[in-house]
Structure 1
Amino acid sequence: MKAIQCTHLGPPDDLELATLPDLVAGPGEVVIEVHAAPLNFPDVLMIQGKYQLRPELPFIPGAEVAGLVTAVGEGVSHLQVGDRVASFVQLGGFAEQVKAPASATFPLPDGLDFAEGAALPLAYGTSAHALLDRAELKPGQTLLVLGAAGGVGLAAVQIAKALGARVIAAASSDEKLELCRQSGADDTINYAAEDLRARLKALTGGQGPDVIYDPVGGSLAEPAFRSIAWGGKYLVVGFAEGDIPALPLNLPLLKGASVMGVFWGEFARRDPKKNFANLRQLLGWMQEGKIRPHISARYPLADVPQALKDMAGRKVTGKAVIEPQR
C-alpha cells in the first residue's frame, strides 16, 4: 500500500510518500480501504512535534477515515467485510489502508458520502461532546463560536442549531461568515474588522453569550471571556492560533463562570458507550438534514503536504479531505 510517512519532525514538505506492506487485522481490529481521510489541525502540529501526542517515528498521520472493511480480526462481530464504515484511528489515516480498532468503527448509511462520513468522528464528535456533555447546551441559550468557519467550528454551529440554541458565529472574513450563515448561524462577527466585545454587547443586549466555544485560543480568548454571561461556560477546545492564552483567574470569579476543557479523544477512550451514543445522535441529525459536513477541498494522497499547508494557512473552510483511492 501507499502511505504518507513522517520520518522526522518538520514542515509538511518533509513528509514522504512511501510504499509499505499491506495490513493484517489483529484481534479486535478491522482493516479499512481508505476512501476519505479528513485533515485536522492537530495533524499540522503533530508532524512538527508541537502536539500533546508525540508518536514514535516514523508514523503515518491522519486521525479519522471512512471506507470499506477489507478484513476483520478475531473477536469482531458487529462489522463484516464490505461494510461502509467510518473510524477514529488517531494515526495512519493518510494511506490506502489503515488498521482500526473495531470499538471506534461504526457503519455508515448507504447514501452518505465517504468524505462526509469521515468528518463525523473527530470534528462532530468533539463538538457534540463539548455542547452535549460539557456545556449541556439548552434550547434558547446563546452560543458564541470562535473560528466558526473551521471544521469543528461549523460542526458546533450546526449541532447548536439542532439543539435549539441561538448561535453567534465569529470568523476572520465576510466570506467565511457567509458559510456560517448557510450552516445556520443567527448572527455573525468579523473579528478582523469589528471589535469583538462591542459587537457581542450589542447582539446580546449587554448580557453576553451563555456558552463560548473556543478552538482558536490566542488573542481572542480574554476579550471573549470578558464578554461571557453570568454563570456562563467557556469551552477550551484547541489553539489554532498557535498561542495558548493565559487567562486572569479573577475573570471566572467575577462572572461566576466556568472554564471547561474539551478533550474528545480521551473522553472517547474512557467512555466509549457515551461517545457511540453521541455518534448515533449525529447520524440521526444527518439523516434528518439538520447537520451536514462542509467539504471545501479534496486532495489525492500525494498532495497531503500541500493540503496541510493550505490548512495551516487558513485557506480551508469546513473540512479538507484526502482521497487515497484517486
Structure 2
Amino acid sequence: MRAVLTTAHGDRSVLALKSDHPDPAPGPGEVVVTIAATAVNYHDIFTRRGMPGIRIDLPVIVGSDIAGEVTELGDGVDASWLGQRVLIDPVFRDGKRFGMIGETCDGGRAERIAVATGQLLRVPDGVTLEQAASLPLAYGTAWRMMVTRGRVAEGETVLVLGASGGVGVACVQIARLFGARVIACASSERKAERLRSLGADEVVNYAERPFRESVQEIIGKPRMSGDGGVDVAVNFTGGDTLIDTQKCTRLGGRILTCGATAGYELTLDARYWWTFEHDLIGSNGWEPSDLEALLQAIDDGRLAPEIDRRFPLEETAEAERLLEDREVVGKVLIVP
C-alpha cells in the first residue's frame, strides 16, 4: 500500500512516500480500516523534529486523527463491524501499552491501518468521515477543556489566545455553540476575518498591539466590584502570556489550559490569583465520551469542524509546511 513515513528526526525532507509499504493484517480482536482521511497536527511535526525525553522508534507512519471504513475483520471480531464507518480514538486505554497511534506505532498517513475494536467509535450518518477525522487531537482536546473541565456557559465571555490554530478554532466554535461571547486573538487580519466568520464576536490582533490592552479596552479591566474582565480565558500558549491573561480575567473567573506551545516555564502573579479568586484549570487530551459528544453535535447540525485544506499523500510535506508557517485556520487533512 501507499504510505508516508517519517524516516528520521529532522526537517520535512525526512518524509518519504512509499508505494510498496506492507499491508496491515488484523490480529485477534482487530479490524483493518481503509482510511478516508487523517488530520495533520503539530504533534506530527513535534514527532518529526524529536521531542525531548520521548523516544520514538523510526521510521514511523504518523497521523493520529483517523476515520474510514472497516474492510477486514480479525479473529473474534463481531461481523457487524464490517462496512461500518468509524472514527479511531488513537489513545491506548487498555493498560497494556501506552502512547497513541501515529506516535508509538503506525498511524493514518497510509491507505489502511489495523486497529483494535476497543478504539473504534461509530460515525453517525450525518457526519462525514472528513469531519470525523478532524476531531480527536484538536476538537476533542478543546471540548474536554471548554465543556467537561471548563464548564463554559451561555452568557459568559470567553477569551481565546492562539485562536486560529486547530485547538483555538475549536474553542471559538464550541464557546459559540454554548452561547458564550467570544474574544479571539490572532496575528493577521486575514485570520481575524476567518475567525469572525466562525462566530468570534471580537478579534484582537496581537501582532499590532499587546492583547491585554485590546481585551481590556473591549471588556474593561477586572475590578474587585466584579466589573470588567472575561469569565473564561483559554491560554494554551504559555510562555510569557500568563500574567497578561490574569489581568484580563474577572473576579471569580477561570483560566483554562491544555498545553504551552510557547514554553511551559510560566510566570504567574499570585496577587491576581488570590485577590481575584481565579480558578486555574488544566485539561489533558480527551476521553471517548468527549468524542461521542462531538460526533453528536455534528450529527445534530450544531457544529461543523473547520477544514482549511485537503492534500493527497504526495503533498504531505506541503501540508506540514502550512502548519509550521501558521498559514492555516482550522484543520488540514491528508486524503489517501
Alignment TM-score, normalising by the size of structure 2: 0.86
Mean Cα deviation higher: 185-194 or 66-75: 66-75
- 1:162 to 1:33, Cα distance in 2 relative to 1, 3 A: same
Q: Is the 8 A contact 1:140 1:166 kept in 2?
A: yes
Q: Distance in 2 between matches of 1:287 and 1:10?
A: 40
CA deviations 1:29-87 (Å, max 9, x no partner) are 32211111011111111111126754222211111111111123345449512111121
Q: Which runs of 5+ in 2 are unaligned?
A: 91-100, 222-227
For 1:123, which of 138, 151, 160 is the aligned residue? 138
Which stretches of structure 1, 4 residues or more, deviate above 6 A after TM superposition? none
Q: Distance in 2 between matches of 1:73 and 1:224?
A: 51
For 1:197, which of 202, 206, 212 is the aligned residue? 212
- 1:104 to 1:254, Cα distance in 2 relative to 1, 3 A: farther
Q: Is the 8 A contact 1:88 1:122 kept in 2?
A: no
In the other structure, the counterpart of 1:272 is none
Q: Does 1:10 align with 2:34?
A: no
CA deviations 1:192-224 (Å, max 9, x no partner) are 123311221122232212211223333433312
Q: Distance in 1 between matches of 2:37 and 2:61?
A: 15
- 1:53 to 1:131, Cα distance in 2 relative to 1, 3 A: farther
The secondary structure found in structure 2 opposite 1:167 is strand
For 2:259, which of 238, 241, 264 is the aligned residue? 238
Deviation at 1:244, TM superposition (A): 2.8
Residue pairs, 1:1-326, within 5 angstroms: 1-18=1-18, 19-50=20-51, 54-77=55-78, 80-89=81-90, 90-91=101-102, 92-206=107-221, 207-240=228-261, 242-248=262-268, 250=270, 251-264=272-285, 267-268=286-287, 275-276=288-289, 278-324=290-336
Q: Distance in 2 between matches of 1:247 and 1:99?
A: 44
Q: Distance in 1 between matches of 2:284 and 2:160?
A: 17
- The one-letter amino acid of 1:188's match is V
Q: Distance in 2 between matches of 1:14 and 1:196?
A: 37
- 1:78 to 1:175, Cα distance in 2 relative to 1, 3 A: farther
Q: Which runs of 5+ in 1 are unaligned?
A: 269-274
CA deviations 1:216-237 (Å, max 9, x no partner) are 3334333123322222222222
Report how many aligned residue pairs link the two structures: 314
Bigger Rg, structure 1 or 2: 2
Deviation at 1:152, TM superposition (A): 1.2
CA deviations 1:152-191 (Å, max 9, x no partner) are 1111111111112221111111111211111111221111
Q: Is the 8 A contact 1:131 1:156 kept in 2?
A: yes
Q: Once superposed, what is the RMSD of the aligned Cα atoms?
A: 2.1
Q: Is the 8 A contact 1:42 1:51 kept in 2?
A: no
Mean Cα deviation higher: 136-145 or 228-237: 228-237
CA deviations 1:229-260 (Å, max 9, x no partner) are 222222222334x4334122514234322322
Mean Cα deviation higher: 112-121 or 73-82: 73-82
Alignment TM-score, normalising by the size of structure 1: 0.89
Deviation at 1:122, TM superposition (A): 2.1
- The one-letter amino acid of 2:39's match is P
